[in-house]
Structure 1
Amino acid sequence: MRAARGLFAERGYANVSADDIVSATGLTRGALHHHFGDKAGLFRAVFEELDAELTAELGSVAAGAPDTVGAMVVGVGAFLDFCRRPEVVRICLSDAPAVLGWETWRAIEAEHGLGLITGMIDRGIAEGVITPQPPEVLAQLVLGVTIEAALLIANSSDPEAARRSVEPALITMLSGLLVSR
C-alpha cells in the first residue's frame, strides 16, 4: 500500500498501471488481485488509510484546543492546511471521487470525518455554545461545507490564495452555529 500510495500521489490513479504497482512492490499481479481485487480496490484501501490518518491527525490538533470553539477554529485551519498537501489533493480530492464514484467517496469521507465533527457538535451543544439542533444533521452539513472548501483550494490555480480566502469564510459560516450572547 505504501508503494501504491506514493505512485498514486505522484502520478495520479489514471497514470499508474497495475504493472507499475507490482514492479514497485516486487509482488506479483496475482498477489495484487488476491489482496485487493484490482487496482481500484487497492486505490480504495489507500484512500481509506489516508483519510483515517488525516482524521486522527485532525482529532489530535483539535484535542489540544482549550475549548470546543477553539477546537473548531484550529480544526478548520488544520483541515485547510491538509488540503494543500499534494497527496491529499491528488488522492482524496481529485482521484477518489472519480475512481470510487461520488457516493462511495462521500460514504468513506463520512465514515472518518463525520464522527469527529458530530462529537465536536455534541460537546458544543452540551457546553451551551452551539445552538441545539440535531447533531447528525449539523455534522452532515458541516462535512459538506468543509469538503467544498477543500475542493475550492484543491482546484484553485492559486491554492495559497484560495486557502487564505476560504478560512475566514468558513469560520464565518460555522460561527452561525454558535449561541448568540
Structure 2
Amino acid sequence: MQEASRRSNQDRTSRTQAALIAAARKLFIEKGYTETGTPELVAEAGVTRGALYHHFADKQALFRAVIEAENAAVAAEIEEATPAKLKPIEALASGGEAFLAAMSLPGRTRLMLIEAPAVLGREAMDAIDAAHGGRTLREGIAAAIEADMLQAVPVEAAALLLSAAYERAALSIAAGADLAQWRALIRIVLDGLRRSNR
C-alpha cells in the first residue's frame, strides 16, 4: 500500500513537472524569458502557483529545466543519427548535420542559443552543453582521432571550435540562410581535419 502511494506521488510529481516544462517551453519561445510571467506559466500548465514553487525554486530554475530538456533532446537526435556502424569520421559529420536538423525545430535556436546564455550565463550553458551535445561532439572527435581518421588535434579545443561553427550555422539558418550551403561548408572544415587518404 505504501509502495503504491509512493509510486502515485512520483507519477503526480513527474506529470506536474512535465506540464510546467512544456508550458514554459511554449511561452518562452512565444514571448521570451523576460516577458513571460509566472501567472501565465501556471495558467498554461494548469497548475497552482504553489505547485510551481514546490517543483522549481523560481522562474529561472524552470527555464533551466527547459534548456536541459532541449539539450537532452538534441543530444538524443545526434546519437540516433550516428549508429555504431558508421565510420567515426562519418559519424562526426552526421552528428553535426543532425544537430542542425534538431535546431530547426521552431523556436529551439532562439531558446537555446539566444535566450539561454543571456538568462543562465555562459558558465551554466557550458556545463549543460558538456553533459549533452558537447559530450557527443567530444566523443565523436576522440573516436575519429583514435581510428586515425582525424588529425591528432586537442579534443577539447576542437570541440569548442566546431561547436561554435555549428551554433553560428544554426543561428544563420534560423535567420533564413541556406542549410545546404552551411552543411557543405562544415563538411569542408571537417575534411580539412582529416588524416590524409582517410
* Preserved CA contact (<8 Å) 1:76 1:171: no
Q: Output the aligned Cα RMSD.
A: 1.9
Alpha-carbon separation, structure 1, partners of 2:84 and 2:154: 26
* Preserved CA contact (<8 Å) 2:81 2:94: yes
* Preserved CA contact (<8 Å) 2:150 2:193: yes
TM-score (ref. length: structure 2): 0.80
Alpha-carbon separation, structure 2, partners of 1:57 and 1:81: 9
Residue type matched to 1:56 in 2? A
Alpha-carbon separation, structure 2, partners of 1:31 and 1:24: 13
Is 2:150 aligned against 1:134? no
Aligned residue number for residue 6 of structure 2:
none
Of 164-173 and 38-47, more deviation after overlay is shown by: 164-173
Provide the secondary structure at the position in 2 that maps to 1:27. coil
- Superposed CA offset, 1:69-106 (max 9, x none): 22122222221122221131231122112211233223
Residue 132 of structure 1: CA displacement?
Answer: 1.5
Aligned residue number for residue 76 of structure 1:
96
Q: Please, which of 122, 144, 162 is the counterpart of residue 142 of structure 2?
A: 122
Residue 143 of structure 1: CA displacement?
Answer: 1.9
Residue 65 of structure 1: CA displacement?
Answer: 5.6
Alpha-carbon separation, structure 2, partners of 1:115 and 1:148: 18
Provide the secondary structure at the position in 1 that maps to 2:107. helix
Alpha-carbon separation, structure 2, partners of 1:123 and 1:20: 46
Is 2:64 aligned against 1:47? no
Q: How does 1:1-181 map to 2 (within 5 A)?
A: 1-63=21-83, 66-154=86-174, 156=175, 158-159=176-177, 161=178, 163-181=179-197
Residue type matched to 1:149 in 2? A
Aligned residue number for residue 4 of structure 2:
none
Alpha-carbon separation, structure 2, partners of 1:134 and 1:106: 18
Of 7-16 and 39-48, more deviation after overlay is shown by: 7-16
Bigger CA radius of gyration: 2
Provide the secondary structure at the position in 1 that maps to 2:90. helix
TM-score (ref. length: structure 1): 0.87
Residue type matched to 1:59 in 2? E
Residue 134 of structure 1: CA displacement?
Answer: 2.7
Alpha-carbon separation, structure 2, partners of 1:143 and 1:81: 15
Alpha-carbon separation, structure 2, partners of 1:103 and 1:48: 14
Structure 1 unaligned residues grouped into runs of 5+ = none
* Preserved CA contact (<8 Å) 2:88 2:143: yes
Alpha-carbon separation, structure 1, partners of 2:172 and 2:125: 17
Of 119-128 and 136-145, more deviation after overlay is shown by: 136-145
Alpha-carbon separation, structure 1, partners of 2:116 and 2:85: 31
